[in-house]
């Protein structure tokens, strides 16, 4: 029925309804830009929620700024909605160019950030940029991943389906039944993508699909790391303060509750459990298109990994793109292919156009700058777990895929040891680290999934940090995700994606990949606090005379270590760049016979992938290790 409606609408305005894009199969269909963007209806609706966490005695209201095709409304043609719910529309901006909403005198939006409105409104969609509760013009108080935030965004979906009340600025009740089909797709990067995950986890009817980009699936795993604090990211109270749009004093109680709930220790508690969306994956009825940078040091790979696994366990329709960049939107690392794929994804799930996208490969994985490989499923079929054992105490030791581990070693904590020094020059003896390497690989090895490591250890202190880093050793040109742009550089040229108006253009600066030649690259990392070895909710001191067998996960990846390189694992204790520096000065003895690295190894055939884009590349002379990360 949505496809028939679309065809009728397009025929009404005298243009070719559907055509096949060059990148799609000959029989594929997609929506054309037949509606006038410049005359589109722009309006603001204040949606009532069921909450009142600012305590003013009235329901908190979420602002939904809407743009939709006027011709469709005139013809009585209902349209689906693409929505980006964000806390950033006024405080910080969206996208690579940090665009903010711009308002007319009557309060309607004259400029929407990003290209979603420019591109999709002419193609028969409405677009909503919703302010999360307590941000910009919405009331309530932002509770950073909590009930207020999630239920506020959900209320907009409910309003579009007639289950919530919406009002104009003057208080007049308005409905969406005359123009909205009720089908909604949520999209967004970082916090925006996180809220898409969260709303999907409520199982709200009408939410047909989500596209979470670099998104959090559990706030504990964003702010904490297996019992330790993540120093690379902002605290929950700080995030609240950054995006808070309410008058001074309005949200003091909520801010205090955030500080007490997100206690400074590493324990998992009810506060974090309420912000864990992966545990509610069974309630997800929307399809999910996951996009994530494997080298994202802000919203790290644990988020896409555990979310993906939970979705798979519940048979949720899904697709995934994994890139070599850091915290970067696909619009800025694979623009043309991304817009085309996103277009067909929304057409399929929101307009019901049978364009074949769900029969295409499930996964696209970037191997090197702009070199992509597809997989029919992810992790790939025939992926098996291979045990790598640690042998010897030489410099370096041997990482072997057969035989047994042997020997023992002692490491004394070296809290000033940087990651760069921990992983470089593997044949050099350095205090506080030990390197284990495979022999030179005679064929490529593909690690696709979540590595785990088991260490049998005895600590001289009641606790200690345990750190493991998976490293590809061998000089190669790689995407430099540690540079300031996290793998991209913004150029002076522009390209346009959609229709423009006098106040809102569809043109954005082009980007190029930033690459560097480096002798090694850390491809996955993992950490564990010794006193949290058995539980994240409570601590148990380590007996200094007892060996403990401790297993923890590294970040999920899909990386290829090429023939001629070596695969290595680097063991250290403290790692203050990535986890809170609570060095105890421990000396840890490792029983190598009881230690093993387990890697998900996928078939390595077909790795000579073709470049799918002609995007330019910027070459750095140095591999930067000092760049910070950004949440947005």
Q: Which residues are catalytic?
A: 190, 296, 327
**Collapsing DSSP states into helix, strand and coil, what is residue 453?**
strand
CA 452 to chain centre: 21
Angle at 129 between CA 126 and CA 131, to 5 degrees: 150
Measure the CA–CA gap between 477 and 500, rounded to whole angstroms. Answer: 39
Distance set, CA 34 to CA 68, 125, 165, 499, 506 (Å): 13, 11, 31, 11, 16
Helix 236-243 to helix 252-261 angle, to the nearest 10 degrees?
A: 160
Q: Are 369 and 238 in contact (CB under 8 A)?
A: no
Measure the CA–CA gap between 219 and 194, rounded to whole angstroms. Answer: 9
> Maximum distance among all alpha carbons in the chain?
82
Angle at 548 between CA 542 and CA 550, to 5 degrees: 105
Measure the CA–CA gap between 630 and 65, rounded to whole angstroms. Answer: 26
Of the candidates 264, 306, 319, 241, the residue with the CA atom closest to the CA atom of residue 450: 306
Angle at 432 between CA 427 and CA 438, to 5 degrees: 40
**In what helix (H) or strand (E) does residue 305 lie, and over which residues does it extend?**
helix 302-313
Of the candidates 214, 218, 213, the residue with the CA atom closest to the CA atom of residue 198: 218
Phi first, then psi: what are they for 408, rounded to 5°? Answer: -145, 160
Cα torsion angle, 300, 305, 307, 308, sign: positive
Alpha-helix residue ranges (DSSP H) falling in 13-107: 70-75
- Per DSSP, 361 falls in state -
| Residue 134 zone, left/alpha/beta (φ > 0; ψ -120 to 50; rest) | left
Q: Are 484 and 627 in contact (CB under 8 A)?
A: yes
Of the candidates 150, 49, 132, the residue with the CA atom closest to the CA atom of residue 89: 132
Tokens coding 156: 């907009």
Q: Where do we find the tokens 């309003």? A: 159
> Which residues, including other chains, have CB under 8 Å from residue 579's CB and lie 6 or more apart?
225, 228, 229, 230, 231, 465, 467, 527, 529
């Amino acid at each position: 029925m949505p496809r028939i409606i679309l065809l009728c609408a397009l025929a009404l305005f005298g243009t070719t309804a559907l055509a096949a894009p060059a990148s799609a199969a000959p029989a594929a269909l997609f929506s054309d830009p037949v509606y006038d963007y410049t005359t589109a209806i722009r309006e603001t609706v204040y949606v009532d929620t069921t909450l009142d966490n600012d305590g003013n005695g009235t329901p908190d209201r979420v602002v939904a700024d809407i743009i939709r095709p006027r011709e469709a409304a005139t013809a009585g043609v209902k349209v689906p909605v693409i929505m980006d719910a964000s806390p950033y529309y006024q405080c910080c901006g969206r996208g690579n160019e940090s665009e903010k909403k711009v308002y007319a005198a009557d309060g309607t939006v004259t400029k929407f950030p990003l290209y979603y409105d420019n591109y999709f409104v002419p193609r028969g969609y409405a677009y909503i940029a919703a302010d999360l509760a307590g941000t910009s013009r919405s009331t309530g108080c932002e509770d950073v991943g909590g009930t207020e935030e999630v239920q506020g965004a959900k209320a907009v979906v409910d309003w579009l389906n007639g289950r919530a009340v919406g009002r104009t600025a003057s208080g007049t009740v308005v409905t969406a039944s005359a123009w909205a089909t009720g089908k909604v797709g949520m999209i967004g990067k970082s916090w925006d993508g996180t809220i898409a995950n969260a709303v999907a986890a409520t199982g709200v009817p009408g939410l047909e699909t989500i596209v979470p980009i670099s998104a959090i699936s559990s706030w504990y795993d964003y702010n904490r790391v297996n019992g330790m604090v993540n120093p690379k990211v902002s605290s929950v109270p700080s995030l609240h303060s950054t995006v808070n749009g309410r008058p001074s004093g309005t949200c003091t109680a909520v801010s205090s509750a955030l500080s007490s709930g997100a206690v400074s220790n590493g324990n998992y508690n009810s506060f974090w459990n309420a912000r864990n969306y992966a545990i509610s994956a069974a309630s997800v009825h929307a399809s999910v298109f996951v996009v994530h940078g494997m080298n994202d040091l802000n919203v790290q790979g644990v988020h896409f990994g555990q979310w993906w696994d939970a979705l798979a366990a519940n048979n949720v329709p899904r697709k995934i793109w994994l890139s070599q960049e850091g915290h970067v939107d696909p619009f800025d690392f694979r623009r043309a292919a991304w817009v085309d794929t996103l277009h067909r994804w929304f057409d399929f799930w929101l307009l019901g156009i049978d364009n074949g996208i769900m029969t295409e490969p499930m996964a696209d994985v970037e191997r090197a700058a702009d070199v992509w490989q597809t997989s029919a499923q992810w992790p790939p079929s025939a992926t098996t777990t291979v045990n790598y054992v640690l042998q010897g105490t030489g410099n370096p030791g041997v990482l072997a895929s057969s035989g047994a581990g042997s020997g023992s070693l002692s490491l004394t904590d070296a809290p000033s040891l940087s990651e760069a020094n921990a992983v470089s020059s593997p044949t050099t003896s350095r205090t506080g680290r030990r390197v284990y390497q495979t022999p030179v690989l005679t064929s490529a090895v593909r690690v696709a999934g979540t590595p785990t490591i088991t260490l049998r250890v005895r600590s001289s202190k009641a606790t200690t940090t345990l750190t493991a880093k998976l490293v590809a050793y061998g000089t190669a040109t790689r995407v430099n995700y540690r540079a300031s742009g996290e793998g991209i550089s913004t150029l002076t040229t522009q390209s346009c994606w959609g229709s423009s108006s006098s106040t809102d253009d569809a043109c954005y600066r082009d980007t190029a990949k930033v690459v560097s030649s480096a002798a090694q690259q850390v491809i996955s990392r993992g950490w564990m606090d010794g006193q949290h070895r058995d539980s994240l909710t409570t601590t148990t001191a380590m007996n200094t005379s007892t060996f403990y067998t401790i297993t923890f996960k590294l970040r999920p990846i899909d990386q290829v270590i090429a023939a001629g390189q070596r695969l290595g694992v680097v063991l250290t204790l403290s790692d203050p760049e990535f986890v809170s520096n609570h060095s105890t000065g421990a000396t840890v003895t490792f029983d190598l016979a009881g230690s093993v690295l387990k890697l998900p190894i996928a078939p390595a055939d077909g790795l000579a992938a073709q470049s799918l884009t002609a995007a330019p590349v910027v070459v750095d002379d140095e591999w930067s290790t000092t760049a910070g990360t950004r949440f947005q």
